[in-house]
């Protein structure tokens, strides 16, 4: 059975989102990590727009616009400014080396598709087959948060996880109500500002953004 063009484009963009998640998992340069997050947001905007057009769910156009404003323009600009102010350029310290991390990520993807298979059978959307990729995006972002030791990288991992949750909502139910999306967007934006202040406090106290320094507070 031939899929319509819109469904083919959605599947293509879903594959791109998965590749970007792997690229973020393997990336050591913090500036490049922010750029990959912005690119992931742009692909998410394109995917949401196509879903809105093909399904007739016009509220998704507003979701795509909000994603464009917040995750492609505003948050990357804030993160770039924080990185310049904090003079953070590289994030070379990971708990596990990159090849091993990617192998773990591959196992996570296999697990995600196995987990999504029985769930997607109950979905009635044209994007139900991409639910496995959406779950993989969430778990890969969570894996990146676990493996990185720098606070900035962990925040980007958190934001990427939110991208995966949004894509999962789009895949399963054509998105969330607009009130919920606006609330989540506001929470994310306020959270980034608070974490920015937190970064400066860590840097002032320890002259580093490595989170293992916080363990010394627990020992004291």
* pLDDT tens per residue, range 33-43: 889 999 999 99
- Classified as helix, coil or strand, 18 is helix
Helices (H), 56-177: 59-67, 75-86, 98-120, 131-147, 151-173
Please report where in the chains the tokens 């969330």 appear, as a residue.
Answer: 176
- Classified as helix, coil or strand, 42 is helix
Residue 100 has pLDDT above 80, yes or no: yes
For residue 99, what are its two tokens? 């090849």
Of 8-17, 49-58, 61-70, 192-201, the poorest mean pLDDT is in 192-201
pLDDT at 36: 93
Higher pLDDT, 102 or 127: 102
Where in the sequence is the domain holding 181, given as residue range(s)?
A: 5-219
pLDDT at 8: 85
Which residues on adjacent β-strands are paired with residue 150? 210
State the Cα–Cα distance between residues 116 and 102, nearest whole angstrom. Answer: 21
State the Cα–Cα distance between residues 51 and 45, nearest whole angstrom. Answer: 10
Burial class (CB in 10 A: 0-12, 13-18, 19+), 211: middle
Residue 178 has pLDDT above 60, yes or no: no
What are the pLDDT digits (tens) for 186-197?
Answer: 566 666 665 665
Mean pLDDT of the chain: 77
Output the DSSP codes for 22-51. Answer: HHHHH--BHHHHHHHHHHHHHHHHHHHHHH
Q: How many structural domains comprise the chain? A: 1
Output the DSSP codes for 127-147. Answer: TGGGHHHHHHHHHHHHHHHHH
């Amino acid at each position: 059975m031939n899929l319509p063009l819109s469904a083919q484009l959605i599947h293509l963009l879903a594959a791109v989102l998965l590749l970007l998640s792997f690229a973020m998992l393997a990336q050591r340069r913090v500036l490049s990590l922010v750029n990959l997050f912005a690119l992931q947001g742009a692909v998410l905007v394109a995917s949401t727009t196509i879903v809105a057009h093909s399904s007739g769910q016009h509220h998704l156009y507003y979701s795509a616009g909000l994603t464009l404003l917040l995750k492609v323009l505003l948050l990357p600009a804030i993160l770039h400014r924080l990185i310049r102010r904090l003079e953070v350029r590289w994030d070379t310290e990971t708990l596990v080396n990159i090849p091993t991390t990617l192998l773990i990520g591959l196992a996570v993807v296999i697990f995600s598709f196995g987990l999504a298979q029985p769930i997607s059978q109950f979905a009635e959307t044209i994007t139900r087959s991409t639910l496995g990729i959406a779950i993989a995006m969430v778990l890969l972002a969570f894996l990146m948060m676990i493996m990185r030791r720098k606070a900035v990288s962990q925040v980007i991992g958190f934001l990427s996880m939110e991208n995966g949750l949004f894509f999962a909502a789009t895949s399963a139910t054509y998105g969330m109500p607009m009130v919920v999306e606006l609330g989540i967007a506001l929470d994310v934006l306020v959270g980034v500002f608070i974490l920015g202040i937190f970064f400066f406090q860590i840097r002032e106290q320890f002259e580093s953004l490595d989170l293992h320094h916080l363990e010394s507070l627990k020992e004291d």
